[in-house]
Amino acid sequence: MKEVKSQRKDMERHFVQVDKRINLLEKQFDNVTHGFKLLEQVIDKLTQSIEQVDMRFKQVELHFEQSDRRMDLLHEEMRQHSEQIVRRFDKIEQPLQKVDQRFVKILQHFDSLLETEREMMQFIVKMRENQDRLFKEIAGQEKWIKVVTGNVETEKGRTLEQLFAEALSYGLKNPDIKPESIRLNQKIEDLDGLLFKKPRYGEVDLIAQNGKLIVLEIKATAKPDDVNTLSWKVELLQLQNPDKQVQGLFIAMGASEKVRQRCLEYEIELVD
C-alpha cells in the first residue's frame, strides 16, 4: 500500500510537470497567433496599395494568396499537434486503480510528450523565421511599388537613396545594390558637341557598381520617346566615361509593344 501511495505521489508530480509544459506551449501558441494577426494587418495594408496599380500587379496578389495558404497549413498543423497532446493527456487521467499495470506506459507517454515539445519548439522557431522573411519581402514589394508608380515619399530618418536601394534590390533581384551606389538627379550635359550640335542638358539616375554605370529611367506610363531620351543619355555618358561600361535600364510596368521594340532597337534592358 505504501508503494502505491508513493507511486501516486510520483504520478501527481509528473502531472504537474505536464500541466506546466502544456501551459508553456499554450503561451507559445498565443505568441504565434499574435504574429499572425500582425502579419495579416501588414498584408491588408499592402493590398490597399496594390489596388491603385494596374492589372500587372495581380501577380503580387497571387503571391499573398499563396502566403495565406501556407500560413493556414502551418496553423492547422499546430492545431493538430495540440489535439494530439490533449488526447494523450486524457489517457493519463484514466482511473488510478490501473496505475500499477500502466505506470511504465505512462512514463513512455511522458517521453513522447517531451519529444513532441522539442519538435513544437523547433517548429515555432522555423515559423518565426519564415514570418520575418515574409515581413522583409512585403516591405521590399511595397517600396518597389512606390518607386515604379512614382509614389515616392521619404521616411523619417531615411534618404531617397536608401528607399531606391531597397526597392531596386528587391525588384531587380540584386542584393548588392546599396544606398551609396545610388546617384539620383545627376546633371548631364553635352557642351562639346559629342552628340548634338547645340548644348544639351539633362538629369540621370544612376547605379554605380564595380566600374559600371547603369542609367535608370522609371516611368509609370511609358512612351517610345522616353526610350529615345534614355538612349542618348547612355550614349553621352559612355562617351564621357570611356573607362566604364555604361548600360541603360528602362523600368515600366505594363510596357506597350512599341516601347518593347524601341528598347530592343537601342539595346536597353526593359523591366516590366
User: What are the residues whose beta carbons fall under 8 Å from the beta carbon of 49, sequence distance 6 or more?
Assistant: 142, 145, 146
- The C-alpha atoms of residue 109 and residue 100 are separated, in whole angstroms, by 15
pLDDT digits (tens, 9 = 90+) for 123-159: 788 888 888 777 777 867 777 777 777 666 666 656 8
Lowest mean pLDDT among 19-23, 73-77, 97-101, 113-117: 97-101
Q: Do 109 and 87 form a contact (C-beta atoms < 8 A)?
A: no
pLDDT reported for residue 55? 65
pLDDT tens for 43-77 read 777 777 677 655 665 775 676 577 668 767 766 87
Question: Among 148, 175, 200, where does a domain finish?
Answer: 148
Angstrom distance (rounded) from CA 112 to CA 166: 46
Structurally, how many domains does the chain consist of? 2
| pLDDT per position as a tens digit, 196-236 | 777 888 899 999 988 899 999 998 889 999 999 999 999 99
Which region among 80-89, 113-122, 194-203, 241-250 has the lowest average model confidence (pLDDT)? Answer: 80-89
Note whether 133 and 173 are same-domain residues. Answer: no
pLDDT at 99: 59
Instruction: Compute the average pLDDT of residues 24-38.
Output: 76
In a domain, 168, yes or no: yes
Residue span of the structural domain in which 265 resides: 160-271
Amino acid identity at 239 = L
Shared-domain flag, residues 256 and 204: yes
End of a domain among 128, 148, 168?
A: 148
User: Do residue 128 and residue 179 come from a single domain?
Assistant: no
Residue 134 within any structural domain of the chain: yes
Cα separation of 176 and 86, whole Å?
49
Question: Does any domain span residue 155?
Answer: no
Task: Go through the chain and tell me how many residues it has.
Answer: 272
Per-residue pLDDT at 214: 93
d(CA 163, CA 151): 12
CA distance 35 to 266: 48
**Structure confidence at residue 95 (pLDDT):** 61
C-alpha 177, offset from chain centre = 17
Q: In whole angstroms, how large is the CA radius of gyration of the chain?
A: 30
Inter-residue contact 177 to 185 (CB < 8 Å):
no
Of the given ranges (18-32, 87-101, 174-188, 224-238), which has the lowest mean pLDDT? 87-101
